[in-house]
Amino acid sequence: MKSSILFLGLQLVAAGVLSRQMDVTPASNVNYQSLAPDSDNGTFALPPNFRNEPPINTQSPLTPGAMVKTVKYGPWHMRPNTVLPNAPVLRAAVPCTDCYVVAYQADLVDENGVTQNVNNGGWLHHMVRCLVDFPSFHLPKDTKLNIFLQKVLFTTGIGQRDTSCPILPTKRIFASGNERAVTRLNANYKFGYKINPGDSFSSVVELMNMGKTAKTYYMTISYEYLPINSPSASGYREYAAMPWLDATGCGGSDVPARQGAYSVNAVPWISTVEGNLLFAEGHVHDGALDTTIYLNDKPVCISQHVYGRKPEYVSVDGMDGMGGGMEGMPTTSISDTSSCVNFGMVKRGDKLSAVCKYDTTQHPIEKNPNGSLMAIMCNTRVYIG
Q: Given the rule CB under 5 A, which residues bind Cu ion?
A: 126, 377
Residue closer to Cu ion by CB (options 9, 252) is: 252
Residue 9: its H or E element: helix 2-18
CB of 376 to Cu ion, least distance (A): 8
Q: Which is nearer to Cu ion, 289 or 377 (CB)?
A: 377
Contact call for residues 61 and 68 (beta carbons, < 8 A): yes
- Backbone angles phi and psi of 18, in degrees to 5: -50, -45
Residue closer to Cu ion, measured from CB, 126 or 184: 126
8 A C-beta contact, residue 105 and residue 56:
yes
To Cu ion, the closest distance from the beta carbon of 138 in angstroms equals: 34
Least CB distance to Cu ion at residue 285 (A):
6
> Under a CB-based contact definition with an 8 Å cutoff, are residues 37 and 46 in contact?
yes
Distance CA 200, CA 92 (A): 7
Taking the complex as a whole, the smallest distance from the CB of residue 265 to Cu ion amounts, in Å, to: 17
* DSSP structure class, residue 313: G
* Closest distance of CB 147 from Cu ion, Å: 25
- Give the nearer residue to Cu ion in terms of CB position, either 108 or 377: 377
Stated as kind and residue range, the H or E segment containing 155 is helix 144-156
Q: How far, in Å, CA of 184 to CA of 10, rounded?
A: 20
Q: Give 178 or 315: the residue with its C-beta nearer to Cu ion.
A: 178
Provide the minimum distance between the beta carbon of 51 and Cu ion in the complex, in angstroms, as a whole number: 21
CB nearest Cu ion: which residue? 126
List of residues 6+ apart from 60 with CB closer than 8 A = none
Nearer of residues 224 and 366 to Cu ion, judged by Cβ: 366
> Cα separation of 378 and 162, whole Å?
18
Q: State the Cα–Cα distance between residues 69 and 63, nearest whole angstrom.
A: 14
**Strand, helix or coil at 5?**
helix
Residue among 334 and 377 whose Cβ is closer to Cu ion: 377
Nearest distance from C-beta of residue 324 to Cu ion, angstroms: 15
Residue from 281, 293, 233 nearest 27 by CA? 233
